[in-house]
Amino acid sequence: MAACGAAVEAAYWGKKYGVKVTLVDKAALDRSGAVAMGLSAINQYMGLAGRAQNKNTVEEYVDYVTRDMMGITRQDLVYDIARHVDSSVHLFEQWGLPIWKTGEGKYVNEGRWQLLIHGESYKVIVAEAAKNALGPENIYERVFILEPLLDGDRVAGAVGFSVRENKFYVFKAKAVLAAMGGAVGVFKPRSTGEGLGRSWYPPFSTGSSAYFTIRSGAEMTCQEVRFIPVRFKDAYGPVGAWFLHFKSRATSALGGEYMVKRRAELEKWRPYGLARPIPANLRNYLGMLDSVEGKGPIYMRTDEAIARLAAQGEGDAKAIKMKLKQLEKEAWEDFLDMTISQALLWAATNTEPEKRSSEIAAAEPYFIGSHSGASGAWVSGPADLAPPEYFWGYGNMTTVRGLFAAGDASGASSHKFSSGSHAEGRIAAKSAIKFILENNVQPDVDGAVVEELKARTYRPLATYEKYRNYTTNPDINPNYIRPKMYMYRLQKLMDEYAGGVSANFTTNAPSLERALELLAFLREDAEKLAAQDLHELMRCWENVHRTWQAEAHVRTVLFREETRWPGYYFRADYPEMDEKNWHCFANITWNPANGQWTCVKRPVLHIL
């Protein structure tokens, strides 16, 4: 979504000032990214112009995000996105997105900030506008961007390869905007075996934003703040509509409502634990406490919620029955709009939501800067809002000159979701055009570096061809490792030592240090990855990208000596929140010149 927003905005300003704009997508733009399957709601809309049932202020939204992120957020970035997001939503409707309306023509709010939509084709609609703005001659699809090109302290472009043809691409640029999504598959997933690849966030988002910005030498922020969504178990169906629209309860298998019974636990995390709504990680944490005590499974009481809403209907028994059918239809549409696999699982298990409750569970960790996580690049704020410490010339520019980030690629600006990511893409693109106009010199690209990167890119293919006949089974070979086996090793070590599902999301310093030791071994073995074809070559490089995201995460969790986000991860050796020493950003940088990692604290400066 950030890339689509960037395409529309950059195309407009690019045409005005004679700047060529190119978009590169690993997949096909129509169905790439986090909303590829669709969505049933837009989660960020202010209602500043009075078009919705609810009317909020930007200041209220910034305050909400600050509390939800346990006090650690870039208010200048959140404010900037929030003041522009409504215009992106209005564009969506103009382009053809059906938004639910009341009889008076107001947008229907699912929650305070959320709008209900008929969103199965959400990405297709937004992508069409991006393609129309850029023109097909400026769009490269099925091209996997691997590495940045640098000219000193300035980005000079990027290289990548086609996942369908034997083509290697070199893109030379005066500015680059990274919007390549978050990361899935770093941790061992709950869905394994026949369910492998089923996840909440799209499995083709593999940490490319983080890899590209880290390898450029950009300072990264909030790499420890991974996101763990609680979703319907095994198919990752959304729960937002059930909590906000259907007003459902979640309980343990024994019937206890953990949000009520464990409310006293929130006192330990004040002032954030006393906020309303309760921060997402703390809601997770209360449910996890029930599971650890053996009170699971945890259930969404769908049957109870539908019955209660149907009973509120007016009229005779026939009218109430019709209301019940309408609610059933909305329940199924919620999944068919955005998580078809959940509808299939309900059908396969004879689950009728009006008759039977469904399990929910905390998913494996993800890295995502646009939802309730915060990982991403440390970027400049807007000139009119950012404190001096947060501003270095151009909004959304990373600490590398000419490299911009938006959506899941930019950090510390959580809760932008799809609509806010689109708006942030527009903001970043306009800044990038401004940077080009004021720094209109083509950076140098070293041809020798390009040739070295090309050879490195295709090395897994050469490795496989050289050694594939060494054994009778090509999957078992002492000379190389296939990408799936490599991925299993990465996921196992992260799950066991960095606080994954099997460790109850808990870790400590010795575990994290062991994770770093195993990651070092894995990085060595990455040089022996082997690919049978272009598709497997893509899988090799996806795993390399995941590995860099994993290491940045482990190092930052180890650096931050407190537990601030229980429900996302828990430091058993530092089990409490430490406002005195750790009310700050934990940032990390990898130096391309010497390969060293450095962690630093950055101050949290609020503008409200």
Q: Which residues are catalytic?
A: 43, 110, 200, 231, 334, 371, 418
Structure tokens belonging to residue 180: 């390549």
Exposed, middle or buried by CB within 10 Å (0-12, 13-18, 19+), for 348?
exposed
For 364, other C-beta atoms within 10 Å of its C-beta total: 25
What span, in angstroms and rounded, lies between the C-alpha atoms of 298 and 359?
A: 6
What span, in angstroms and rounded, lies between the C-alpha atoms of 20 and 574?
A: 51
What span, in angstroms and rounded, lies between the C-alpha atoms of 143 and 568?
A: 33
DSSP H helices in 470-603: 483-497, 509-526, 534-559, 579-582
* Spatial CB neighbours of 603, under 8 Å, sequence gap ≥ 6: 389, 584, 585
For 212, other C-beta atoms within 10 Å of its C-beta total: 25
What span, in angstroms and rounded, lies between the C-alpha atoms of 65 and 68?
A: 5
* C-alpha atoms less than 13 angstroms from C-alpha of 459 in its C-beta half-sphere: 15
User: Which SS3 state, helix, strand or coil, does residue 176 take?
Assistant: strand
Partner residues linked to 177 by β-bridges:
404
Q: Kindly write down the DSSP assignment for every residue of 387-454, as one continuous string.
A: -GGG-SSSTTB-SSBTEEE-GGGB-S----HHHHHHHHHHHHHHHHHHHHHHS--PPP--HHHHHHHH
Burial 265-300 (b: 16+ CB within 10 A, else e): ebeebeebbebeebbbbbbbbbbbbbbeeebbebbb
List the end-to-end C-alpha distance of the chain, in Å, as a whole number.
28
What span, in angstroms and rounded, lies between the C-alpha atoms of 79 and 573?
A: 35
Closest CA to 486 of 555, 552, 554, 542: 542
317-338 and 340-348 helices cross at what angle (nearest 10)?
120
* Spatial CB neighbours of 124, under 8 Å, sequence gap ≥ 6: 30, 31
